[in-house]
Amino acid sequence: MTRRLKEIIIKRIFFLFACVSILILGLIVTFLFREGIPIFRIVSVPDFLLGGEWYPTFDPPAFGIWPLIVGSFIVTFFSTLIAVPLGVLSAVYISEVAPRPLKEVLKPLIELLAGIPSVVLGFFGMVVLAPWLQDTFDLPTGLNIVNASLMLALMAIPTISSIAEDALYTVPREFKEASYALGATKSETILKVIIPSALSGISTAVILGMARAIGETMVVLMVAGGAAAIPESLFDSVRPMPASIAAEMGEAPFRSEHYHALFATGIVLFLLTLAFNLIADYVSHKFKEVGSGTL
């Protein structure tokens, strides 16, 4: 075998391995649809998505996941509301404000905190936060939207903070110097020059943080309370999609309608997070290429 042929073969082999990720993505789609599509023989797609009743084990069963979708969006929304300001501001602190020694401790620390397993956060929310909420606000249960949003925020903050910090870090020093030389104060420079310049990176951080929150299972499974109904107050329980899948798959008989409905819920969840990730990818590339032209 000539050396050239060998090189070509090696290159092809690496190419095949690189395609494995695409292959897996394809397989995920295939198997989600294979196991999920059969439910649409029983309910139509609009009825499944927008149906207000999720009673999969009743007779006759009802497979409407609207309450689950609403549950997912509500906890994602409120956790984002908490996590974005805290995450971004702490990134500003680490990158622009903290004295150097503190910065060198905080940066890896935040990264380390991003590694706390979500089951641990769920456990904490269940054992510590839930009883406290219950007592303080005199509620029937502490497992509710507030609890889930807080724990999800806690989970997303390190992610948001560390990606946003990377984005702030890459803002060219020239921008800062130009701003200071024009008589801007430090906070004005941060707010009007540094943050706008890092906006695409910060947006990516926020979207990825949201994607993590909407797809997170253990936290919502353990602390959201599990009521499959449209909530009326922040202290109501909800049943986000991942929680529903995780809680019910164990009991759903193999290839029953319930089993297929859970896979179909998985499809919805998958498509939602896919959309989030594509948007994040788009945002981070779009601004990069035009040199963040218009602000």
Half-sphere exposure of 82 (CA within 13 A, CB side): 20
- 22-51 residues in contact with other proteins (CB under 8 A) are 22, 24-25, 27-28, 31-32, 34-35
C-beta of 38: minimal distance to other proteins in Å? 12
Among the listed residues 259, 210, 215, the one whose alpha carbon sits nearest the alpha carbon of residue 241? 215
Residue 62 or 246 with smaller CB distance to other proteins:
246
145-169 and 100-113 helices, crossing angle to 10°: 130
- 263-292 residues in contact with other proteins (CB under 8 A) are 263, 266, 269-270, 273-274, 276-278, 280-281, 291-292
Q: Which two tokens stand for residue 107?
A: 């940066």
3-state secondary structure 90-142: HHHHHHHHCCHHHHHHHHHHHHHHCCCCHHHHHHHHHHHHHHHHHHHHCCCCC
When asked if residue 81 is in the footprint of other proteins (CB under 8 A), the reply is no
When asked if residue 98 is in the footprint of other proteins (CB under 8 A), the reply is yes
C-beta of 232: minimal distance to other proteins in Å? 25
Residue 41 or 181 with smaller CB distance to other proteins:
181
C-beta of 227: minimal distance to other proteins in Å? 15
C-beta of 52: minimal distance to other proteins in Å? 23
- 188-227 residues in contact with other proteins (CB under 8 A) are 188, 190-193, 196-197, 208, 211, 214-218, 221-222
Q: Which two tokens stand for residue 284?
A: 């981070």
Q: Which two tokens stand for residue 11?
A: 């290159």
Among the listed residues 121, 51, 80, the one whose alpha carbon sits nearest the alpha carbon of residue 265? 51
- 114-173 residues in contact with other proteins (CB under 8 A) are 115-124, 126-128, 154, 157-158, 161, 172
C-beta of 215: minimal distance to other proteins in Å? 3
Residue 174 or 232 with smaller CB distance to other proteins:
174
- Choice from 69, 163, 262, 283 touching other proteins (CB under 8 A): 262
Residues forming a β-bridge with 63? 54
Q: Please provide residue 54's backbone torsions phi and psi, each rounded to the nearest 5 degrees.
A: -115, 90
Strands (E), the chain: 54-55, 62-63
Residue 64 or 125 with smaller CB distance to other proteins:
125
C-beta of 8: minimal distance to other proteins in Å? 10
- Choice from 59, 138, 174, 232 touching other proteins (CB under 8 A): 174
* Amino acid in position 262: L
Among the listed residues 233, 219, 239, the one whose alpha carbon sits nearest the alpha carbon of residue 151? 219
C-beta of 79: minimal distance to other proteins in Å? 13
Q: Are 75 and 238 in contact (CB under 8 A)?
A: yes
Size of the site for other proteins (CB under 8 A): 111
C-beta of 18: minimal distance to other proteins in Å? 4
* Amino acid in position 85: P
User: 169: Cβ–Cβ under 8 A, 6 or more apart, which residues?
Assistant: 95
- Choice from 79, 149, 179, 237 touching other proteins (CB under 8 A): 179
